Amino acid sequence: MEKIKILLAEDHALVRQSLREYLEKEEDLEVIGEAGDGEQLVALAKDLKPDVIIADVAMPKLNGIKATRKIKAMNISAPILILSAYDIDQYVFSLIEAGAAGYLLKDIDGDELKESIRRVIKGDSVLHPAIARKVMERLRANRKHQDLQSFESLTDREIETLELVSKGKSNKEIADQLHVTVHTVEAHLGNIFDKLGVGSRTEAVVLAIKKGWIGLD
C-alpha cells in the first residue's frame, strides 16, 4: 500500500508529536516532516514534496496565511489542510482565498482528521461545520449585494418599464403610457435584460418579483 506522505506544521512540539503518533497508527498515513514555524514549513514543502500539508494558522516567523500563499506560488501541488483553534473570519477567508484545501478546527475528533486527509488527497474541499456556515453566510451576503447592485443599476425609466411589463402591458401600451416610441421601450427592455442577466420579459419580471423589487399589484 502506497502511503500518504504528510508534512505537519505546528509551533507546539507536543501537539506535533501527538498528531504524528496518532496519524501513523494508520497503515496508509506517514508523517515525513515537521515544521515549527512558517518559514520552515515553506522550505520543507519544497524539499520533501509531501502529498498533503497540515498547518496551523498562528505560527512564528510566517503565519499560515502567508506560508500558504508562498507554497501555492511555488506551484507545489500538495493540498494544504488548515487545523486551527481559531475560526476568525479574517483567517478563514484569507486562507480559502490563498488556496487552502480545507479548514478544520481543533475540536474535531481524530477520525474526522484522518478522513479529511484522505478526502483532500482526492481533490475534495473540507470545511469544519462552523467554517462551512461562515462560507455560506458570506456567499449569501455577496449574492444579496450583487442582486441589489443589479437592481440599483436600472434607471428610473427602466424600473417604470419593468413595472408596466409586470402588469402585462405590451410594448405599444408601455410606449403610450410613458410617452415614448416603441423603439425606446425595446431599448429599455434590452438594457434591463443585460443588467439583470436574463433573456426575456418573463424572466425579468419573475426575478424582480422574487427579489421583492416590484409587487404583484
Give tens-digit pLDDT for 80-93. 998 888 777 777 77
CB 182 within 8 A of CB 175: yes
Closest CA to 95 of 59, 50, 143: 59
CATH number of 4-136: 3.40.50.2300
Q: Which residues pair with 54 in a beta bridge?
A: 8, 81
pLDDT in tens, 133-186: 766 666 565 555 555 555 667 888 888 888 888 887 888 889 998 999 989 988
Give the three-state DSSP class for 180. Answer: coil
CA gap 18, 95 in Å, rounded? 25
CA gap 93, 138 in Å, rounded? 9
DSSP state letter for 7: E
Among 29-38, 54-63, 89-98, 178-187, whose mean pLDDT is lowest? 89-98
CA distances 162 to 76, 179, 198, 216, Å, are 51, 15, 13, 12
DSSP strands (E only) in 51-168: 52-55, 80-84, 102-105, 126-127
Q: What angle do CA 41, 43, 45 make, to 5 degrees?
A: 65
Say if 4-136 and 153-210 have the same CATH topology.
no
CA gap 193, 203 in Å, rounded? 9
Report domain extents, the chain.
Answer: 4-136, 153-210
Q: CATH top-level class for 153-210?
A: mainly alpha
Question: Count of alpha carbons within 13 Å of 110, Cβ hemisphere only?
Answer: 11
What does pTM read for this prediction? 0.60
